[in-house]
Amino acid sequence: MLVKTYGSAITGVNASTVTIEVSVEKGASFNLVGLPDNAVKESASRVDSALRQCGFNMFGNRVVINMAPADLKKEGASYDLPIAIGILAASGNMNGINLDKYVIMGELSLDGSLRPIHGVLPIAIEARRKHFKGIILPLENTREAAIVNNLEVYGAGHISQVIGFFNGDTNLPQVQFDTREEFAKSLNSYEYDFADVKGQEEVKRALEIAAAGGHNVIMIGAPGSGKTMLAKRLPSILPPLSLEESLETTQIHSVAGKMKKEDALIAVRPFRAPHHTISDVGLCGGSSKPMPGEISLAHNGVLFLDEFPEFRRATLEILRQPMEERKVTISRAAMTVEYPASFQLVAAMNPCPCGYYTHPTIECTCSPGAVSKYLHKISGPLMDRIDIHLVVLPLSPTELANKKPGESSATIRERVVKAREIQAERYKDYAGIHCNAQINTKLFNKYCSVDSQCQQLMAKAMEKLGLSARAYDRILKVARTIADLEGAENITVTHLSEAINYRSLDRDNWGR
């Protein structure tokens, strides 16, 4: 007898429906075809043990399983459950009438219990797109799948429950989830707040500008000056995620297996802080089975790279293309996948090997030229993509003793949101451009033009401060954002003067 069950295969952050055709006849063999990987091939042992626990013997027959389409690679143990259900239905041990209405996915333990799987959200989205009535999953995955509306989501803890569901003997619990209500409930629930930060008003102002314009930032300062503390609070002043952004972000984390059991939807912007020993694959994604890397996990959020010069130079160079294109393409012999990677980079570093070049009271012990050499561990093209350079100085004892709370993240976020609304209106006719940091040359010439007085100021700054040519565009983009924060239509000398101060590392005398 021939029976069909339905599962899904993940490619990138999207899913494709897989038809699992099972034929059971007289004989004693087991054949699995359709480009399965080793984990799928090993399902025979797991399925056999699980079915024996339920009183069935799989290997008393000739079993042939085809996973279509045959040119799509099938990976992982999540096909155990649809294969087992197909074998039971094809051998007449289970009612298979309604199998074509459901996508079934789950990994089997030897005792028949179900283990959670990865990539449930894109699987559920694909099931709804293909007009399936529902989806049957391990219990731990049901909340994540339930955020997809117009799709019945059922959870099971053991294969016997799934068998009983199709036989009409058992009612599986249907999980329902109010996506908008849960999203609104979790929105803006940040762990860190700028109210906790003492002093550092100039740095906080610069981070507000960075949030308002989507600008990348590098902070340079002595150990203990608060660089990491400040970076962790940047997501709390970014505009709240939209529901569309939330679903897109959740999809990436679902595929990567980063979703917690209690989480159904990521409602706050991600903050990823990989260690400087991270590999190229860990940062950009890939491996033999392509998975999202840290830059994709930071999509719609912040990628924080502490100890910036300590990262391998080749690893950092990987960032250059994703920072421009806001996506990363992983090419392998068998497939090419594309992951979103629209992140805001925040880097932090010591000013020199000993760490105290900029410290107001501790003397730097580095040899002549060591400061410049340390900074030049970061390539010019990568530094070119960072708009704002900040020198972070340690707080004085008086500032540390001050118990007065600073301005809250909520207050700062209100100003940032207003500036982003101005930019959204300005760039509404340009696809893929949402903030000042993303504008191309054509839009730069249109919206970052300045009068003769500003041009004179820029010329003096380039000459006296020794600013590099690459600083020119960056300064004007940041000045455009400062103007937006004030609600000004045009860039003025005041806006430009403040923006010039945020290019410390471009000055010829830095590190000498």
Q: Which one, of 386, 294, 393, 397, lies nearest residue 350 by Cα?
A: 393
| pLDDT for the residue numbered 368 | 80
Specify the range with the lowest mean pLDDT, choosing from 66-70, 349-353, 372-376. Answer: 372-376
The percent of residues in the chain predicted with pLDDT above 70, rounded, is: 98
Three-state secondary structure of 85-148: HHHHHHCCCCCCCCHHHEEECCEECCCCEEECCCCHHHHHHHHHHCCCCEEEEEHHHHHHHCCC
Half-sphere exposure of 82 (CA within 13 A, CB side): 31
Q: What is the pLDDT of residue 182?
A: 75
Decide if pLDDT at 437 tops 70: yes
Q: Is residue 153's pLDDT more than 90?
A: yes
467 or 224, which is more confident = 224
Query: What are 442-486's pLDDT values in tens digits?
Result: 898 888 988 999 999 999 988 888 777 778 888 999 999 999 999
0.75 exceeded by pTM: yes
pLDDT of res. 511: 57
Q: Give the pLDDT of residue 367.
A: 87
Alpha carbon distance, N-terminus to C-terminus of the chain: 81
Instruction: Please give the backbone phi and psi of residue 346, each rounded to the nearest 5 degrees, phi first.
Output: -125, 115
Report pLDDT digits (tens) over 297-346.
999 999 999 999 999 999 999 999 999 889 998 887 667 888 999 999 99
pLDDT in tens, 228-277: 999 999 999 999 998 889 999 999 999 998 887 777 788 889 999 999 99
pLDDT value at position 265? Answer: 85
Assign 413 a pLDDT band (cuts: 50, 70, 90). very high
CA separation for the pair 26, 91 (Å, rounded): 10
Integer Cα distance of 332 and 281 in angstroms: 13
Least Cα distance to 308 among 293, 319, 324, 323 occurs for 319
Strand pairing category for 344-349 and 217-221: parallel
Q: pLDDT digits over 157-166, tens only?
A: 999 999 999 9
Nearest to 219 by CA among 395, 373, 346, 352: 346
Percentage of the chain lying above the pLDDT 90 cut: 60
113-142 core/surface letters (b: 16 or more CB in 10 A; e: else): bbbbbbbbbbbbbbbbeeebebbbbbbbbb
Give the per-residue pLDDT at 26: 84
- Report which secondary-structure segment, H or E, holds 462: helix 452-464
Give the chain's mean pLDDT.
90
Q: How much is the average pLDDT of 489-510?
A: 84
pLDDT at residue 6 is higher than 80: yes
pLDDT tens digit sequence for 382-400: 888 899 999 998 887 777 7
Q: What are the pLDDT digits (tens) for 23-75?
A: 998 877 889 999 999 999 999 999 999 999 988 887 678 899 999 999 898 99
